[in-house]
């Protein structure tokens, strides 16, 4: 939700942690998305960005 809101609000950048096995990541595992979750998020952001005049 925060990434979608950030793009809608005009953020210039996002930092999103992605890991195939977050439980075993060396850092930031608890906040990491699985690759399939990241792909879904990007699909959503590609819809939101142009609606608010932004590019990804």
pTM of the model: 0.88
Would you state the pLDDT for residue 47? 97
The residues that bridge with 18 in the sheet, in sequence order, are 33
Encoded tokens for 54: 């932004």
Residue 4 lies in a domain: yes
Would you state the pLDDT for residue 42? 98
Residue 25 lies in a domain: no
Residue 53 lies in a domain: yes
Helices of type H across 1-56 = 2-9, 35-51
Residue 38 lies in a domain: yes
Residue 19 lies in a domain: no
Residue 23 CA to its chain's centroid (Å): 19
Q: How many domains does the chain have?
A: 1
The residues that bridge with 33 in the sheet, in sequence order, are 18
- Which residues constitute the domain of residue 55? 1-9+30-56
Residue showing tokens 């996002």: 14
The one-digit pLDDT tens for each residue of the chain (56 residues) are 899 999 999 999 999 999 999 999 988 898 999 999 999 999 999 999 999 999 98
Would you state the pLDDT for residue 45? 98
Q: Which of 43, 48, 47, 35 is nearest to 8 (CA)?
A: 48
């Amino acid at each position: 939700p925060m990434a979608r809101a950030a793009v809608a609000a005009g953020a210039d950048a996002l930092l999103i942690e992605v890991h195939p096995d977050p439980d075993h990541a060396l850092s930031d595992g608890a906040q990491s998305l699985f690759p399939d979750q990241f792909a879904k998020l990007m699909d959503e952001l590609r819809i939101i960005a142009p609606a608010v005049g932004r590019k990804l």
